[in-house]
């Protein structure tokens, strides 16, 4: 039976690594190392959840692309419409004369969202794509 509540454990770390970690803790505004370590553990669990293809997640797909690329806008729209059941919203930003940034908010099974992300980021004219995810269920 799993016990709820706070548990203590020790961590051994090389001095230089601990010094760099403490600098990160301070820069990010954590009140102590424990909070920072909890966030790192949560993130590792979330990253691992990507391996569970049936896991329900929410997240975003970030795309940076040249909007002058022939047929790119039509193809982006076609793919998103085909997978409308996982696309919640999109936001489109014009960065300059040539480049756009699009954020697509998604929710669904990891395997479906990963498929969508792969289809979008592999299109000719998409210069950068990133899929970020968080579990829908509490860790």
**Residue 103 contacts residue 117 (beta carbons within 8 Å):** no
92 marked as part of a ligand binding site: yes
**Residue 19 contacts residue 97 (beta carbons within 8 Å):** no
CA dist., res. 43 & res. 134, Å (int): 9
Tell me which residue has tokens 């696309």: 87
Residues 6 or more apart whose Cβ sits within 8 Å of residue 90: 80, 102, 103, 104, 105
Phi, psi of 90 (to 5 degrees): -135, 150
68 marked as part of a ligand binding site: no
94 marked as part of a ligand binding site: yes
84 marked as part of a ligand binding site: no
Which segments are annotated as binding site for Ni(2+)?
A: 81, 92, 94, 100
Which segments are annotated as binding site?
A: 81, 92, 94, 100
């Amino acid at each position: 039976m799993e016990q709820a509540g706070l548990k203590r454990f020790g961590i051994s770390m090389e001095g230089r690594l601990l010094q760099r970690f403490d600098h990160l803790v301070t820069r990010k505004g954590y009140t102590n190392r424990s909070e920072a370590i909890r966030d790192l553990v949560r993130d590792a669990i979330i990253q691992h959840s990507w391996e569970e293809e049936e896991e329900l997640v929410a997240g975003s797909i970030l795309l940076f692309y040249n909007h002058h690329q022939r047929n790119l806008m039509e193809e982006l729209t076609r793919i998103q419409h085909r997978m409308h059941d996982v696309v919640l919203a999109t936001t489109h930003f014009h960065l300059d004369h040539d480049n756009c940034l699009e954020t697509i908010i998604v929710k669904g099974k990891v395997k479906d969202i990963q498929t969508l992300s792969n289809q979008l980021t592999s299109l000719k004219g998409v210069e950068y794509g990133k899929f970020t995810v968080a579990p829908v269920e509490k860790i």
